[in-house]
Every structure is written in structure tokens, then in C-alpha cells.
Amino acid sequence: MHLAGYCLGGTLAAVAAAALAREHGERLASLTLLAGQVDFAEAGELTLFIDDSEVSLLEDVMRAQGYLDARQMAGAFQLLRSNDLIWSRRVREYLLGRREPMNDLLAWNADATRMPYRMHAGYLRRLFLDNALSAGRYEVHGRRVALSDIRLPLFAVGTTKDHVAPWRSVYKVNLYTDSEVTFLLTTGGHNAGIVSDPAREDRSYQVTTRTHDEPYVDPDTWAALAPRQPGSWWPQWQRWLAERSGPMVPPPPLNGGLEPAPGQYVLQR
């Protein structure tokens, strides 16, 4: 199985891979972190909103209702890019009357979700504020996990204009594992840089692979030396996965089958 996670999902995927390696050895074929950080010491503009008093306030809000409302979460990310996501849109649509047509990326970006209290509070305090994962203090089932236990091939993607997970912060995964690490830096931001299909001819990327016995290269030196390639990074990832995969086999049967799209989750209030 290839495990992949995006943003916070990438952080959780790294935690899961470290815990699995500790308990069961190498159960995964590879790990992919898409704009996913394991070290939050230089976590970017989001640090403007996160300190001990703010996390305590959010914990009180979430404790009362059991979750962080989707509108609250979306508002925080909009404030990080207020010129692009708030003010320019208000000028264009309200003052000038120019309605921007909906597209797939805008629709996906507007599909906000609630954040469960226990998960979000644990993320903000233990991972973001305390930086417990990179320090070896993060616990799973009462035992600390170490990123150095991850020995499987690792593919990490950063984006040049990411305001949520700065690419130099994503690059830090090289410091915490002895695995073979393929690091890819693509043009674009936190969303559009990752959702970058092969039809996007305006994209480009840089990628190299560091074996477990090669010396560390700092991110700025890496960016200056890594060759630039045109196009979407998706085919590069697909080839990387294919090289580390076995033969195609039929999927296992699902008990009860799948619900018709879009499933029940989106219908819940």
C-alpha cells in the first residue's frame, strides 16, 4: 500500500508511518507528503494566528460545540491571503459587478469541512505549538513515535507560493529520516500547485532523489542546483509510484459495497 497525505493529512500520514514502522516494521510500500510538514518551527504565515492564548480560545469554542465550524476554518485561510481571497473579489464582484465563473478548483476550495475538537486541538497544541513530532515527543497509543523509524521510500512535494506549508518547511523532512527522499518543488500555491493536472501547461517543477547515504543539502542550495522541468508534476509522481509497485491485481471486495456518489457525508448538517 502507498500512503499519501495532503497538508495536515500529510503530517498525520507521517505519524501513522512512524507508528506502523515501530509496531509492525515496514508495512507500507511508500509514503507521499503533499505540502505536509513534520517540523513546525518555520510554519509560515499561519503562525500569525496561532499562539497559546489563541489556541486556548479555540479549545473553549470547540469544547462547547464539539468541532470548529467550517466557516471559521475557511475564514482563517482567507485572511492569510486577504488581497487575493477577500478584497480583490469584493471589488470585482460587488463594486464592478463581474461575477467570476465557477471552476473545479474554486468549487473544491469552497467545500469546507468541520474540524473535530479533539483532532484539531491536538494538532494545534501538540504538533503546531509544541512541535512535538520533530522533537520525538509525540505519542501514539501512549508511546512516543520517531520519524527516524520510517525507512521506506518517501516522496515530498512543496509549492513555491505556499502560504500554509512553506516549501522550505516541507523540505525539512530530509532532516528526520534516513529514507530515500524524492523532493519535488512545483510552481503554484497550496491548492493550485498540488491540484495541477497535466493540461496545465503553465506549470513547471524541480525534482531530485537523495539516497539514505547521501549528505544533506540545504533548501536554497538545492533550489539553485535542481534542474527545472516543464509541465505538471503528476506524471513524475505516477512514474515514481509505478517503479515501487507490484503487478496490477483485482481490488478486494468491499463489504456492503459503496454508496452512490457523493455519499452520505456531504448530506449531513
Determine, yes or no, domain membership for 205: yes
Determine, yes or no, domain membership for 257: no
Determine, yes or no, domain membership for 174: yes
Look at the chain and report how many structural domains it folds into.
1
Q: What is the number of helices (H) and of strands (E) in the chain?
A: 10, 10
52 catalytic residue (yes or no)? no
Query: 42-51, 163-172, 204-213: which has the minimum mean pLDDT?
Result: 42-51
pLDDT tens digit sequence for 190-238: 888 999 999 888 899 999 999 988 999 999 999 999 999 999 999 999 9
Q: Please provide the average confidence, as pLDDT, over all residues in the chain.
A: 87
Determine, yes or no, domain membership for 112: no
pTM of the entire predicted model: 0.84
Res 199: pLDDT: 87
Q: Which of 168, 129, 149, 230 is nearest to 35 (CA)?
A: 168
CA pair distance 141, 143, nearest whole angstrom: 6
Query: 78-87, 95-104, 139-148, 154-163: which has the minimum mean pLDDT?
Result: 78-87
Higher pLDDT, 133 or 260: 133
Indicate if the pLDDT at residue 63 is higher than 60: yes
Q: Are strands 2-6 and 30-34 parallel, antiparallel or unpaired?
A: parallel
Q: Is residue 150 helix, strand or coil? A: coil
Indicate if the pLDDT at residue 86 is higher than 70: no
Determine, yes or no, domain membership for 212: yes
Query: 10-14, 58-62, 99-103, 145-149: which has the minimum mean pLDDT?
Result: 99-103
Indicate if the pLDDT at residue 154 is higher than 90: yes
Residue 21 structural domain: 2-41+132-243
Res 267: pLDDT: 67
Determine, yes or no, domain membership for 107: no
Residue whose cell numbers read 500529510: 10
Q: Which of 36, 234, 41, 198 is nearest to 129 (CA)?
A: 41
pLDDT tens digit sequence for 104-153: 777 777 777 888 888 888 888 999 889 999 999 999 999 999 999 999 99
Q: Which of 7, 20, 121, 170 is catalytic?
A: 7
Determine, yes or no, domain membership for 88: no
Answer for the pair 115, 77: CB distance below 8 angstroms, yes or no. no
Q: Which of 209, 199, 204, 210 is nearest to 233 (CA)?
A: 204
Determine, yes or no, domain membership for 202: yes
